[in-house]
């Protein structure tokens, strides 16, 4: 009897890339599970979703580096501009359709979609727990399509397992994509089978929840400018009373010791297993950790190895200062200056330089003890954070402003500002929300898509790549130009990312985005 593999294999990846290839799934295989015998129990259903959660967790490296370096929050960083040409190209908008990080993210999104399609196609839903797994699959598929749609615009729609004759899928319409996202989320929410936290203090739920699905649906409505519908969904989350702004020190929101705190809408869970430390393999912490080979001393408590990528820009620091002053509470727990780092015992080696403008990310710093195993591969035991309640509040402020609910817009914006120890504002404007969102959510992968959505990408990203900073051991910053005039910075074509060249080569039915 012929069987079909349910593992993520090279064959599955061919499906994920939607390319034309032989139907190898029908080849008799030994040692694999059959759809005829699998997905029959609750444990089988949970295992299927665990694979999807694992794929999402594994995206951290490519996703965070890509989204953050497309924004105006970061310099690519590193010891020199040539340390990672791919990341410099992303940061300077000199990349093309062969960009590795873009290709990896595109592929991972479709891996998630493939896994959820398998789950939706084969989990019977005979028990309440299986129905929960089906609801979660819809949320995770919707998340992937939200990212694909906001970044690429019209990616192929794959809402079921593909047969060999269906592998070469054409572009989907943006309207149909948003409809699928809305339908998946609404179905999952209305099913009644998504889990919910028992209270604001409950930190035991690591699965997608009803409120996360509502927040994602509200966020989707914001992108579609369906303001009243967005308001309704955010009200559902806020009025549930199951989430709130973290009340401890601001720079501990994302720390290992505060995983899944009251502000976390959804995290990818990591559990330390001393017998299998590389189950949590990632090089993200290594990439963004302070560039330690340029330092003679590093303060106690900081991760002692790093390559110094993703260094904050001076423009971000100045935006903080403009709103909060140099002694701003949130500023000083988000970014440290060169002098502040030096005062804390982080002293550069005389004569050394690195790509940096004199600022260091503090809110997202890597702490000692969070990396239990090193080598060329690194194991990070901190969770991957995908959405915070503060983002929900700021999205709700925008949606209410656009829907004509000024008082609610003021209320939600000022909740975030109060936690940041800032005075409240009245009659807030979209500019106020744009400013607050940059400061509150810097380094958290939302800025680039927001700038494109607001039509502000050319204004803030148009000159990226014009020059690159180098800081010396005395804190002196110089700038050097590397790119030919006009060959850098955000252009009209960057409103959508390019489909990977490999996808275009293998799939004759997909049309490349304009300008690529």
Query: Which strands, in side-by-side order, build the sheet including 468-472?
Result: 353-354, 468-472, 477-480
208, burial (CB in 10 Å: exposed 0-12, middle 13-18, buried 19+): buried
For the chain, which residues make up each domain, given as ranges?
1-191+467-516, 277-361
The predicted structure's pLDDT at residue 371: 82
Average pLDDT (312-322) is: 98
List C-alpha distances in Å: 188 to 141, 223, 333: 11, 20, 37
Average pLDDT (420-437) is: 98
Return d(Cα 119, Cα 160) in angstroms, integer. 10
pLDDT in tens, 332-383: 999 999 999 999 999 999 999 999 999 999 999 999 888 877 665 577 889 9
| 3-state DSSP assignment of residue 283 | coil
Average pLDDT (451-475) is: 98
The predicted structure's pLDDT at residue 34: 65
The predicted structure's pLDDT at residue 486: 86
High-pLDDT (> 90) share of the chain, %: 84
Return d(Cα 44, Cα 55) in angstroms, integer. 17
Closest CA relative to residue 292, chosen from 363, 366, 375 = 366
**pLDDT bracket for residue 33 (50, 70, 90):** low
List C-alpha distances in Å: 421 to 262, 415, 416: 19, 10, 9
Q: Where are the alpha helices (DSSP H) in 403-464?
A: 406-419, 430-440, 447-454, 457-461
**pLDDT bracket for residue 452 (50, 70, 90):** very high
Return d(Cα 484, Cα 373) in angstroms, integer. 42
**pLDDT bracket for residue 281 (50, 70, 90):** confident
Average pLDDT (132-145) is: 98
The predicted structure's pLDDT at residue 279: 80
Two structure tokens written together for 218 = 């509200």
Name residue 209's beta-bridge partners: 195
pTM of this prediction?
0.92
The predicted structure's pLDDT at residue 217: 98
Question: Is the separation of the CB atoms in 513 and 499 below 8 Å?
Answer: yes
The predicted structure's pLDDT at residue 304: 81
Question: Is the separation of the CB atoms in 356 and 308 below 8 Å?
Answer: yes
Average pLDDT (312-333) is: 98
The fold of 1-191+467-516 is 1.25.40
What average pLDDT does the structure give for the chain? 91
């Amino acid at each position: 009897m012929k069987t079909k593999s349910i593992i993520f294999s090279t064959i599955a990846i061919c499906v994920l890339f939607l390319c034309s290839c032989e139907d190898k799934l029908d080849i008799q295989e030994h040692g694999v599970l059959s759809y005829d015998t699998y997905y029959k129990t609750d444990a089988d259903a949970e295992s299927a979703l665990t694979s999807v959660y694992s794929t999402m967790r594994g995206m951290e490296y490519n996703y965070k580096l890509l989204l953050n370096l497309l924004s105006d929050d970061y310099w690519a960083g590193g010891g020199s501009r040539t340390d990672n040409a791919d990341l410099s190209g992303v940061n300077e908008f000199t990349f093309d359709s062969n960009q590795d990080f873009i290709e990896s993210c595109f592929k991972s999104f479709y891996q998630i979609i493939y896994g959820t399609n398998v789950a939706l196609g084969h989990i019977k839903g005979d028990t309440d727990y299986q129905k929960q797994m089906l609801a979660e699959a819809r949320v995770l598929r919707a998340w992937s399509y939200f990212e694909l749609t906001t970044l690429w615009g019209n990616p192929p729609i794959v809402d079921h397992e593909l047969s060999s004759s269906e592998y070469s899928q054409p572009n989907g319409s943006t309207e149909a994509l948003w409809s699928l996202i809305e339908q998946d989320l609404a179905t999952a929410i209305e099913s009644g089978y998504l889990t919910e936290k028992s209270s604001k203090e409950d930190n035991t739920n690591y699965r997608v929840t009803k409120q996360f699905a509502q927040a994602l649906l509200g966020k989707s409505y914001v992108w579609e400018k369906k303001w009243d519908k967005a308001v309704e969904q955010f009200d559902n989350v806020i009025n549930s009373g199951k989430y709130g702004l973290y009340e401890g020190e601001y720079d501990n929101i994302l720390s290992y010791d505060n995983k899944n705190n009251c502000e976390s809408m959804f995290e990818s869970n990591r559990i330390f297993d001393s017998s299998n430390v590389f189950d949590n393999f990632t090089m993200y912490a290594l990439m963004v950790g302070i560039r330690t080979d340029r330092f003679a001393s590093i303060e106690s408590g900081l991760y002692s190895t790093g390559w110094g990528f993703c260094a904050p820009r001076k423009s971000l620091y100045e935006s903080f200062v403009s709103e909060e002053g140099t002694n701003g509470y949130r500023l000083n727990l988000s970014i440290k200056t060169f002098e502040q780092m030096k005062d804390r015992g982080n002293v550069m080696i005389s004569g050394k330089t690195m790509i940096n403008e004199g600022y260091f990310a503090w809110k997202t710093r890597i702490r000692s003890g969070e990396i239990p195993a090193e080598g060329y591969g690194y194991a990070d035991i901190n969770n991957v954070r995908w959405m915070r309640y503060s983002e929900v509040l700021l999205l709700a402020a925008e949606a209410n402003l656009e829907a004509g609910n000024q008082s609610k817009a003021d209320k939600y914006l000022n909740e975030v500002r109060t936690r940041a120890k800032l005075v409240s504002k009245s009659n807030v404007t979209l500019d106020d929300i744009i400013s607050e969102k940059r400061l509150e959510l810097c380094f958290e992968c939302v800025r680039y898509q927001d700038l494109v959505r607001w039509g502000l990408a050319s204004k803030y990203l148009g000159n990226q790549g014009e020059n690159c900073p180098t800081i010396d051991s005395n804190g002196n910053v110089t700038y050097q130009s590397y790119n030919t005039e006009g060959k850098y910075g955000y252009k009209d074509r960057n409103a959508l990312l390019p489909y990977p060249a490999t996808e275009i080569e293998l799939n004759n039915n997909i049309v490349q985005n304009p300008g690529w």
